[in-house]
A and B are shown apart, each in its own frame.
Chain A
Amino acid sequence: MNYKIENIKQITVKKPLKLDCGQTLKDFPIAYETYGKLNEKKTNAILIFHALSGDQFVAGTNPVTNKDGWWNIAVGPGKAIDTEKYFIICANVLGGCMGSLGPKNINDIDGEPYGLKFPVVTIRDMVKAQESLLDYFNIKKLLSVLGGSMGGMQLLQFCALYPDKTFSAVPIASTSSHNAQQIALNELARQAIMSDPLWNNGNYYKDKKIPKNGLAVARMAAHITYMSEKGLQERFGRKLQEKKDYEFTFDADFQIESYLRHQGNVFVDRFDANSYLYISRAMDYFDLSKQFKNGLVGAFQNHKTRFLIISFSSDWLYPTKNSKDIVIALNASGANVAFAEIKTDKGHDSFLVNEPEFLETLKGFLDSNFEIFKNEK
């Protein structure tokens, strides 16, 4: 994957970041993008955390892929997260491949790309790295932090680490701890990548023969988990791909096969296989309850942050139960919490597609909290 570096904004994180694995990083790049304008009183800033395969290009056109930003449905002028009203910041995660320090960067030790020499990072490491952006923009308190899936994990971690740095928080289709099924699915993806001979133990940057097939299979498997059985059936059913009958081969006879192959193929053009390994690992290691004596309740004790937890009824990857566990912990710690389960057939991906009930709920929450936050300040 190639991109023009001039399209990417970066800060250099100067203060040393001690990672959970024990190593320390310093003077490393974090790439970010912003949308809208920060108002004078700095009451309209929202930090969005992206998911596993996302990047900092939330809205408009992604200048690297020339496709829509991953949350273009929700973020933009007049949209649920209105960029005419709010100032949106999103950073590429540590370990990512869109300009933040990751395994494809050159390391200082031997002048080669890191590959597997890149330290194994955690969700907490990612969040600490991104927190530097608040200093950069001189924002003391955000209006809100938002994120779906792994983005939700980061924001829960953010709230636990920096309880006073955000007024509100919306974890969407997320979890406070990766469960066995979620780890298993990530392991499946990693094994697909690592069993591609071109992966070569993570050393593939030099001859540019990248483990495309492995990464594509990983993406295909993941894509299935983002949709519901009903959603898949309604959209694809047993429909054949531009043919009248079976061809009695292993080509993509069915539309669903063709769709998955396409999703796999386009993904390898924009994503680094090693980044996929590292980021999925960070998700597996995530268990917020382990960081506090009182478990998850301890993570939010005495917090004033106003939470809205959202789940989707047909999401089997991060089911409502995961969200409810967060709600229960927040209730037990006396925190301010609202919760809505959106009824939909669109599965885990519901937050990325046009799901009016969801977008209206999100908009209502943000707008009303903006009013309260403004008046408080």
Chain B
Amino acid sequence: MKNEFKIITNLLPTGSRVLDVGCGDGALIEVLITQKNIDARGIELEENKVKQCISKGLSVIQGNAETELDQFPDKAFDFVVLSQTLQAFYKPENVLNELLRIGKKVIISIPNFGYWHVRASLLFFGKMPVTKSLPDFWYNTPNLHMCSIKDFYQFCDKRKIKMNKIIGVSNNKISSIHRINLEMKNLLSEIGIFLIS
């Protein structure tokens, strides 16, 4: 299992109601159902991936999270999970507001643009970075709004979004992020996982 999925699974309490936004082939949902008896649902844009989910018996809705989260009532889920896709939306701020509306809490993971590898790529080679968590080139990347852990931290801070927990991930190492170590972790973490409400 992806390290990130392990962390997310650990954050979620047994038996809770969870929506995985952009759930892909349903890998995380399967884990949540089998390991933690979570009532996990998903929404996914790609028809083929939706078909895979449905064939696994998962309750996944084909749809665009950018425009179709309005179909869910307020606080319909205990947790809403958005794994590394916030940066691919046209209007991430609107999407984030929707996530916070339909979920009591939201778990968001972001590929960290402040990671030293990313910074080095631009600084030393003058080229857009291509890394494990940012595998695409500038011309075919779906990412429209890249940000760093620090950017997202300040974004939440400014909007008075409560950050219950922030976890930095790098080479399978997990660390907790706070205001005090933000600069350092922003440099050393490949992925940031935010639990917000």
Contact = CB atoms under 8 A, between A and B. Distances in A.
Given A337-B61, A339-B62, A340-B62, A331 B55 contact: no
Interface of B: 41, 47, 50-51, 53-63, 71-73, 76
B54 A340 contact: yes
A357 B47 contact: yes
A331 B71 contact: yes
Contact of A368 (B47, B55, B61, B76): B55
A338 B58 contact: yes
Nearest to A358: B51
Contacts of B50: 338-340
Interface in A315-343: 324, 327-328, 331-332, 334, 336-343
Nearest to A370: B57
Contacts of A343: 47
Given A338-B59, A372-B57, A361 B51 contact: yes
Label chain B's interface by main secondary structure. Answer: mixed
9 tightest CB-CB pairs across the interface, nearest first?
A364-B55, A368-B57, A339-B61, A328-B71, A338-B59, A340-B62, A361-B51, A336-B59, A365-B54
Given A327-B61, A331-B72, A332-B73, A338 B53 contact: yes
B99 to A, nearest CB: 15
B47 A365 contact: no
B47 A338 contact: no
A340 B57 contact: no
29 contacts: A306-B59, A308-B54, A327-B61, A331-B71, A331-B72, A331-B73, A332-B72, A332-B73, A334-B76, A338-B58, A338-B61, A339-B62, A340-B47, A340-B50, A340-B51, A340-B54, A341-B47, A341-B62, A342-B47, A343-B47, A357-B51, A361-B51, A361-B54, A361-B55, A364-B51, A365-B55, A368-B54, A368-B56, A368-B57
Contacts of B55: 360-361, 363-365, 367-368
Nearest to B52: A364
A336 B76 CA distance: 12
Nearest to A362: B54
Interface of A: 306, 308, 324, 327-328, 331-332, 334, 336-343, 357, 360-361, 363-365, 367-369, 371-372
A102 to B, nearest CB: 37
B62 to A, nearest CB: 5
Contacts of A357: 47, 51
A169 to B, nearest CB: 12
Nearest to A372: B57
A371 B73 contact: no
Given A328-B71, A332-B73, A340-B51, 4 more contacts: A357-B51, A363-B55, A364-B51, A369-B57
Contacts, number: 64
Given A331-B71, A331-B76, A342-B47, A364 B61 contact: no
A337 B51 contact: no
Contact of A365 (B57, B62, B63): B57
B64 to A, nearest CB: 11
Contacts of B62: 339-341
A340 B47 CA distance: 7
Contacts of A361: 51, 54-55
A127 B61 CA distance: 27
B73 A338 contact: no
A314 to B, nearest CB: 14
User: Most chain-A Cβ atoms within 10 A of its Cβ — which of B53, B61, B63?
Assistant: B61
A110 B7 CA distance: 76
Contacts of B60: 338-339
Which of B51, B55, B57, B63 neighbours the largest number of chain A CB atoms within 10 Å of its CB? B57
A168 to B, nearest CB: 9
A370 to B, nearest CB: 9
B77 to A, nearest CB: 10
A340 B48 CA distance: 10
Contacts of B51: 340, 357, 360-361, 364
Contacts of B47: 340-343, 357
A364 B59 contact: no
Contact of A371 (B57, B58, B59, B76): B57
A364 B41 CA distance: 17
Contacts of A339: 50, 60-63
B57 A327 contact: no
A340 B50 CA distance: 7
A41 B54 CA distance: 25
Given A338-B53, A368-B56, A369-B57, A327 B76 contact: no
B59 A337 contact: yes
Contacts of A332: 71-73
A339 B95 CA distance: 21
Contacts of A306: 59
B39 to A, nearest CB: 8
